């Protein structure tokens, strides 16, 4: 019987088998584990690092939790898309990058090298964090391949606080990326921000209250127009969601987006040249009934669906959307 445990039994990175949601070997969306990236469209990989947090730790366990929370998303055709993304995309779970927490100066180079290897293979990188500091080496690797990036950052925090070159901090790396020319601020947008910074550094900042007042479509109009034809990197900090929708995170801030708002904005990015994604700051020790991990898994799943659309998948919605 060729069903079940496809994480290690299935060798084709496209398609999928039937699987018990409550059993079987876990991988992200039940994708086969593989480090062979020949003819692979997307490599999903974990970055279990949280030594840069400034409040509550635990997101080093995020990749494991997001994989476990993805089981139901691997069961049915995607909502609201109405297709199976793996009819169109070859996706593998690469596993987790090996990091040495006892030599913190090696962490960023190891992450950057791993991302660069995935990109060089022709696959896109979908990284599961880990704290938000990991976005800096990920952005470096993507910019080396694509040039300065348009960044769409979902976050409660702009991560633009004062920095220095030796700092390992999940609140300064976006400012560093702009200063280093990795991110083009004129093409970039931050979504859901609700903490204060002295400067926007040239970014368009759509605060959570602004989105509550003006709506999803207005946010999309801004983000899509600014990105234009640039290569777009999406960095999704789960604390963009209100703590009611994402309690399992390190620096929760009230007044955030609802899950539906963030997902609707993400689902509206299909026209853009999406080159990479990270989903970060899922901290399972503070989660409740997998609420946060399920949200993170859904973000990653829906980004894959956007890529499937670029490969020819057509939305087939049922009912009023």
Instruction: Output the tens digit of pLDDT for each of the chain's 321 residues.
Output: 568 899 999 999 999 998 999 999 999 999 999 999 999 999 999 999 999 999 999 999 999 999 999 999 999 999 999 999 999 999 999 999 999 999 999 999 999 999 999 999 999 999 999 999 999 999 999 999 999 999 999 999 999 988 888 888 898 999 999 999 999 999 999 999 999 999 999 999 999 999 999 999 999 999 999 999 999 999 999 999 999 999 999 999 999 999 999 999 999 999 999 999 999 999 999 999 999 999 999 999 999 999 999 999 999 988 887
- Cα separation, 292 vs 283, whole angstroms: 8
For residue 44, give the H/E element and its range: strand 42-47
Of 302, 220, 230, the residue nearest 259 (C-alpha): 302
What is d(CA 48, CA 54) in angstroms, rounded to the nearest whole number? 16
- Per the CB < 8 A criterion, the answer to whether 155 and 257 are in contact is no
In 3D space, the residue among 257, 56, 295 whose CA is nearest the CA of residue 156 turns out to be 257
User: Is 157 marked as binding a ligand?
Assistant: yes
Residue range 91-107, pLDDT digits in tens: 999 999 999 999 999 99
Task: Find out whether 155 is annotated in a ligand binding site.
Answer: yes
The domain spans of the chain are 26-310
Residue 164: φ, ψ to 5°:
-140, 160
Name the CA dihedral angle for 114, 203, 243, 132, rounded to a multiple of 10 degrees.
20
* Model pLDDT for residues 284-321, shown as the tens digit of each residue: 999 999 999 999 999 999 999 999 999 999 999 888 87
Tell whether residue 273 is among the known ligand binding residues.
no
Q: Is 237 annotated as a binding residue?
A: yes
Q: Which pTM value belongs to this model?
A: 0.96
Backbone angles phi and psi of 261, in degrees to 5:
-65, -50
Residues 6 or more apart whose Cβ sits within 8 Å of residue 203: 151, 158, 160, 178, 185, 188, 189, 190
For domain 26-310, give the CATH number.
3.40.800.10
Tell me the β-bridge partners of 195: none
């Amino acid at each position: 019987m060729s069903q079940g445990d496809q994480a290690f039994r299935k060798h084709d990175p496209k398609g999928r088998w039937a699987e018990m949601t409550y059993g079987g070997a876990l991988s992200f969306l039940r994708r086969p584990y593989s480090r062979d990236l020949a003819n692979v469209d997307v490599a999903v990989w974990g970055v279990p690092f949280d030594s840069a947090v400034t409040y509550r730790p635990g997101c080093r366990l995020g990749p494991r939790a997001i994989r476990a929370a993805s089981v139901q998303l691997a069961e049915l055709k995607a909502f609201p898309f109405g297709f199976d993304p793996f009819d169109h995309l070859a996706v593998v779970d690469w596993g987790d990058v090996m990091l040495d927490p006892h030599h913190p100066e090696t962490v960023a180079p190891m992450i950057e090298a791993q991302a660069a290897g995935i990109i060089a293979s022709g696959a896109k990188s979908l990284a599961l964090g880990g704290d938000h500091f990991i976005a800096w080496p990920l952005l470096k690797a993507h910019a080396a391949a694509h040039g300065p990036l348009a960044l769409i950052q979902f976050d409660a925090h702009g991560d633009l606080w004062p920095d220095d070159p030796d700092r390992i901090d999940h609140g300064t790396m976006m400012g560093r990326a702009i200063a280093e020319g990795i991110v083009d601020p004129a093409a970039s947008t931050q979504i859901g921000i609700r903490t204060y910074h002295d400067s926007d550094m040239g970014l368009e900042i759509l605060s959570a209250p602004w989105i509550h007042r003006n709506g999803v479509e207005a946010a999309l109009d801004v983000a899509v127009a600014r990105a234009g034809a640039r290569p777009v990197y999406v960095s999704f900090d789960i604390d963009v969601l209100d703590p009611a929708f994402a309690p399992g995170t390190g620096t929760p801030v009230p007044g955030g987006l609802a899950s539906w708002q963030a997902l609707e904005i993400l689902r509206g990015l299909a026209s853009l040249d999406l080159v990479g994604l990270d989903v970060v700051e899922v901290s399972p020790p503070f989660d409740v009934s997998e609420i946060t991990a399920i949200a993170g898994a859904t973000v990653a799943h829906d980004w894959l669906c956007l890529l499937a659309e670029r490969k020819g998948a057509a939305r087939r919605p049922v009912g009023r959307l």
